[in-house]
Amino acid sequence: MTQNAPFRARAEIDLAALRANVRALRARAPRAAFMAVVKSDAYGHGMVPCAKAARAAGATWLGTATPEEALALRAAGIGGRVMCWLWTPGGPWREAVEADLDVSVSGIWALREVTHAARQAGRTARVQLKADTGLGRNGCPPGDWAELVAAARAAEEAGTVKVTGLWSHFACADEPGHPSVAAQLTVFKDLVAYAEKEGVEPEVRHIANSPATLILPDTHFDLVRAGIAVYGISPSPELGTPADFGLRPVMTLKASLALVKRVPAGHGVSYGHHYVTEGETTLGLVPVGYADGIPRHASGRGPVLIGGERRRVAGRIAMDQFVVDLGPEGDRIREGAEAVLFGPGDRGEPTAQDWAEAADTIAYEIVTRIGTRVPRVHLHTENMENTGNTENAGATGNTENAGNAGNTGNTRV
Ligand SMILES: Cc1ncc(COP(=O)(O)O)c(C=O)c1O
Q: What is the pLDDT at residue 382?
A: 81
Is ligand 1 within 6 A of the CB of residue 85? yes
Q: How far is CA 44 from CA 142, 246, 266, 374, 390, in A?
A: 34, 21, 39, 10, 25
DSSP string, 32-78: SEEEEE-HHHHHHT-HHHHHHHHHHTT--EEEESSHHHHHHHHHTT-
Q: Which helix (H) or strand (E) holds 357?
A: helix 352-358
Question: CATH number of 251-368: 2.40.37.10, 2.60.120.10, 2.30.30.30, 2.60.120.620?
Answer: 2.40.37.10
Question: 155 with 103: CB under 8 angstroms?
Answer: no
Tally the C-alpha atoms within 13 A of residue 387's C-alpha that lie toward its C-beta.
Answer: 15
Q: What is the pLDDT at residue 26?
A: 98
pLDDT tens digits in sequence order for the chain, 413 residues long? 566 789 999 999 999 999 999 999 999 999 999 999 999 999 999 999 999 999 999 999 999 999 999 999 999 999 999 999 999 999 999 999 999 999 999 999 999 999 999 999 999 999 999 999 999 999 999 999 999 999 999 999 999 999 999 999 999 999 989 999 999 999 999 999 999 999 999 999 999 999 999 999 999 999 999 999 999 999 999 999 999 999 999 999 999 999 999 999 999 999 999 999 999 999 999 999 999 999 999 999 999 999 999 999 999 999 999 999 999 999 899 999 999 999 999 999 999 999 999 999 999 999 999 999 999 999 999 866 555 433 332 222 233 333 333 333 333 22
Q: How far, in Å, is the centroid of ligand 1 from the Cα of 283?
A: 41
In the chain, what is the straight-line distance between the N-terminal and C-terminal CA atoms, in Å? Answer: 5
Q: What is the pLDDT at residue 385?
A: 58
Helix axes 142-158, 179-197, angle to 10 degrees: 30
Residue to mutate, 61, 188, 219, 225, ligand 1, most ligand atoms under 8 Å from C-beta = 225
What is the CATH code for 15-230?
3.20.20.10
Out of 39, 130, 162, 254, pick the active-site residue: 39
Decide if 39 is catalytic. yes
Q: What is the pLDDT at residue 331?
A: 87
From CA 179, how far away is CA 174, in angstroms rounded? 12
Q: How far, in Å, is the centroid of ligand 1 from the Cα of 332?
A: 45
DSSP string, 102-157: EEEE-SHHHHHHHHHHHHHHTS-EEEEEEB-SSS-SSSB-HHHHHHHHHHHHHHHH
Is ligand 1 within 6 A of the CB of residue 166? no
AA identity, residue 386: N
- DSSP, res 238: T
Q: How far, in Å, is the centroid of ligand 1 from the Cα of 169?
A: 8
The domain limits of the chain are 15-230, 251-368
Length of the chain: 413
Is ligand 1 within 6 A of the CB of residue 228? yes
Decide if 275 is catalytic. no
Contacts of 109 (CB under 8 A, 6+ apart): 89
Is ligand 1 within 6 A of the CB of residue 139? no
Q: What is the pLDDT at residue 395?
A: 27
Is ligand 1 within 6 A of the CB of residue 226? yes
Is ligand 1 within 6 A of the CB of residue 140? no
Residue to mutate, 37, 39, 41, 215, ligand 1, most ligand atoms under 8 Å from C-beta = 37
From CA 234, how far away is CA 212, in angstroms rounded? 12
Is ligand 1 within 6 A of the CB of residue 219? no
